[in-house]
Amino acid sequence: MFIETERLMLKPLAASDLDAQHALWSQEPVYRHITGKPMDRETVWLRLLRDIGHWQVFGFGTWSVRLKDTDKHIGVMGIFDYKRTIDPPLDAFETGWVFDSAYHGQGYASEALKAALAYADDTLNLPKTQCAVAPENEASLNLALKHGYKPLRECLFHGQPTFILERLRAI
């Protein structure tokens, strides 16, 4: 499933995205709030295989976000269920995003999230989505709030404080 916006093309992640994904997960501004350390190539490969498999199981998942005019991979945006070890467990599909630090602050994440949420609402008819954000990740918190997410609860995920936010389907 491809999604096109004014400046972006969202394409399902593919094995050919490994190098771009490894470069992305090696950037400190990217991993700081998520893993706390860079990911090695093997870990990125396993993560990529998980995301590709999600498309096979559910028919949707995580997209490679690319600049429309150059086809450059600048990040990822997804709708997924990773069965996270969060207590209590999430009860909806998640949205999540990660963008190359060179493209932060230019509205690309907002543009991609808007498109992904329209897909969740209009095509998947999901009643709600949730997202997990580190409390200190102000940019992602602001992005989620801008797109209708509301704070639901705080929990621990892998021992780290995490905010869970929820967005009800737009009608």
pLDDT in tens, 70-79: 999 999 999 9
Q: Which secondary-structure segment (H or E) carries 42?
A: helix 41-58
The answer to whether position 169 is within a domain reads no
Amino acid letter for position 145 = L
Using 50, 70 and 90 to split pLDDT, how confident is the model at 30? confident
Average pLDDT over residues 44-63: 97
What string of H, E and C letters represents the secondary structure of 93-148?
Answer: EEEEEEECHHHCCCCHHHHHHHHHHHHHHHCCCCCEEEEEECCCCHHHHHHHHHCC
Residue 157's Cα: distance from chain center in Å? Answer: 16
Q: What residues make up the domain containing 16? A: 3-126
Average pLDDT over residues 9-17: 98
Distance separating alpha carbons of residues 100 and 76, to the nearest angstrom: 9
The pLDDT value given to residue 81: 96
The pLDDT value given to residue 87: 84
The answer to whether position 110 is within a domain reads yes
The answer to whether position 168 is within a domain reads no
The answer to whether position 30 is within a domain reads yes
Count the domains in the chain: 1
The pLDDT value given to residue 74: 98
The pLDDT value given to residue 13: 98
The answer to whether the pTM exceeds 0.85 is yes
- Which CATH number fits the domain that encloses residue 116? 3.40.630.30
Percent of the chain whose pLDDT exceeds 70: 100
On average, the pLDDT of the chain sits at 96
Average pLDDT over residues 51-79: 98
* Burial group, residue 96, by CB count within 10 angstroms (0-12, 13-18, 19+): buried
The pLDDT value given to residue 96: 98
The answer to whether position 132 is within a domain reads no
For residue 171, pLDDT over 90 is answered with no
The answer to whether position 53 is within a domain reads yes
The answer to whether position 161 is within a domain reads no
The pLDDT value given to residue 35: 87
For residue 141, pLDDT over 80 is answered with yes
The answer to whether position 57 is within a domain reads yes
